[in-house]
Amino acid sequence: MSEPKEHAHHIVSPKVYVVILFALLVGTATTVWASYVDLGIFNPIIALAIACTKATLVVLFFMHVKYATKLTKLTIFCGGFLFITLIGMTLADYITRAWGQW
Amino acid sequence: MPDSPLIAHTDSPVANSAHHGDDAHPSYLRHHFESVEQQADTTNFAMWLFLLTEVMFFGGLFTAYLIYRNWYYPAFVAASHQLSIPLGGLNTLLLITSSFTMAMGVWCAETRRKSGLVLCLCLTFILGLGFLGIKTIEYSEKFEKHHVPSYHYSLNSFLNPDSDPAAKAAGDKPLPLDVARHTEVYFSLYFAMTGMHALHMIIGIAILGFMIFRARAGAYTSGHVTFVENFGLYWHFVDIVWIFLFPLLYLISRH
């Protein structure tokens, strides 16, 4: 079955928006609470994991990407991949400059 | 050539039918597109390309922050204790709620609810202003404490933490002078990142004001919702930037 060239304009219902709003508020409360607990190296990791989850919810539902064309989805994925690659390689460079000399 | 690409009245609420020949189509369909759907997909795609350049732009700032945080870790921990979690948290709530009202605004435009759209845009406008108001309170406190990177920058909160309520509450130990000086790097990045975010908010609020004016005339509730939709994407993007700024600047060095 071939992908139709044009897709009908998908209207996301307010119920979905309310659920996402609630999830984002819960995520915010969780990240503030988690920041006061001493988890050592996992504090920033958990904070970023919650932030990434919240951002994904916003992108998929508030920004309608779940219902977007394959072209848009692929482009956003590529942009995200390039972003992670650039940050990852830059940080890898800085971390390995003085490898073993800490 | 009846339509110029920059034509200003493409989504005119009045003329919604063909205004030339028997080539009937909505007035907002531009001539280089085959259909309204194709036009909507194209503008949506272009908006995403713009947002991806914005991601890369903020990505540079975030990368600089991560590198300096690793280099000057004790200074960054002490400096981040100067930020107020209640104010930052409240701003997060305002911004997330404004994203929700904006999403509801897009729904109102799609379902042609004019008064609902105006209400949603006004709420988004007010919540955005509220965010900037709280940011102003936070900034002015930084000016009062001389925590703005400049010739007048003061290391007092970090050399004598007991003299500073925020540092004392966090249980900070006095930092050596060379370490304490690096707190200025933290505040440089703090102002660069939150300032650039606030600039995006100001631009967004200005566009919102324009949209409220247009929405009251019925501009976005006659079937052509592209402008509201793409502005919504921009507003949600600004929200996402804050979703990352809040934990990175305020939260991760608290325990």
For residue B22, how many other CB atoms are within 10 A of its CB? 5
The pLDDT tens digits of the residues spanning B170-222 come to: 989 999 999 999 999 999 999 999 999 999 999 999 999 999 999 999 999 98
Partner residue opposite B252 with nearest CB, options A12, A47, A83: A47
- Does the pLDDT at position B140 exceed 50? yes
Please report the pLDDT score of residue A7 as a whole number.
53
Domain ranges of chain A: 12-65, 68-102
In this prediction, residues B125-147 reach a mean pLDDT of: 97
Q: Which pLDDT score is estimated for A10?
A: 83
The partner residue sitting opposite B55, judged by closest CB among A9, A64, A79, is: A79
Give the pLDDT confidence of B4-24 residue by residue, as tens digits: 444 444 444 444 444 555 456
CATH, domain B53-251, list 3.20.20.70, 2.40.30.10, 3.40.50.300, 1.20.120.80: 1.20.120.80
| Distance (Å, whole) CA B67 – CA B190 | 14
pLDDT of residue B226: 92
Q: Which residues contact B178 (CB under 8 A, 6 or more apart)?
A: none
What sign for the dihedral angle of Cα B227, B229, B235, B238?
negative
8 Å CB contact between B39 and B30: yes
Q: Is A1 on the interface with B (CB under 8 A)?
A: no
Whole-number pLDDT of residue B14:
46
CA distances for B77 relative to B74, B132, B158, B184, B224, angstroms: 5, 25, 11, 12, 49
Cβ A58–B239 below 8 Å, yes or no? yes
Q: Return the residue of B nearest to A88 by Cα.
A: B63
Q: Do B100 and A20 touch (CB under 8 A)?
A: yes
A72–B44 CB contact, under 8 Å: yes
- Tell me the mean pLDDT in the region B160-174: 92
Residues B238, B216: Cα–Cα separation, whole Å: 25
Contact between B10 and B27 under an 8 Å Cβ cutoff? The reply is yes
Whole-prediction pTM:
0.89
Digit-coded pLDDT (tens) for B59-112: 999 999 999 999 999 999 999 999 999 999 999 999 999 999 999 999 999 999
* Contact yes or no for B128/B197 (Cβ under 8 A): no
Tens-place pLDDT, residues B228-255: 999 999 999 999 999 999 999 999 988 7
- C-beta of residue B107 within 8 angstroms of C-beta of residue A12: yes
Please give the Cα distance from B159 to B148 (Å, whole number): 16
- Rounded to the nearest integer, the mean pLDDT of chain A is 89
Handedness of CA B99, B100, B103, B105 (dihedral sign): negative
- Taking the CB of residue A67, how many other CB atoms lie within 10 A of it? 16
Q: How sure is the predictor about B35, in pLDDT bands with cuts at 50, 70 and 90? A: confident
Q: Which range has the top average pLDDT, B117-121, B165-169, B223-227?
A: B117-121
Please determine, for residue B157, whether its predicted confidence score (pLDDT) is greater than 90: yes
